[in-house]
Amino acid sequence: MRMACYSDLMEQYENPIEHACDMHVGQTFEVEECRKPIGMCDSAWETLLPFVTELAHGGGDFYDGWMRNKHSAMLSCNDGFRPVSFYVEVVE
């Protein structure tokens, strides 16, 4: 996982908020039966769910060979101010 923070955009467009995200670098999650893992951000899960579902059902090879591992995806949540990137892969 990787996190970015665009303070210039936050200063220009975002209303001040005290707490936006509980994610931190190094967290890992296991998904069973496409249920949101405990501790995962709701917004991030909404972004990841279609890919997780596809991978869980044997799919993959997103966007015609985008990833070296066909059963994985590199995805980011939809927070434009502080996006969090996730590497999602099938594990046995």
| Residues 67-89 pLDDT 10s | 999 999 999 999 999 999 999 99
Question: How much is the pTM?
Answer: 0.85
- List, for residues 17-48, the tens digit of each pLDDT value: 888 888 889 999 999 888 999 989 898 999 99
pLDDT at 88 (0 to 100): 95
Mean pLDDT, all residues of the chain? 92
> Could you state, in order of their start, the residue ranges of all structural domains in the chain?
2-14+24-89
Question: Can you read off the two tokens belonging to residue 46?
Answer: 């909404």
Q: How far apart are CA 73 and CA 81, in angstroms?
A: 22
| pLDDT(1) > 80 | no
CB 2 within 8 A of CB 25: yes
Percent of the residues in the chain that have a pLDDT greater than 90, as a whole number: 72
- Residue % of the chain over a pLDDT of 70: 100
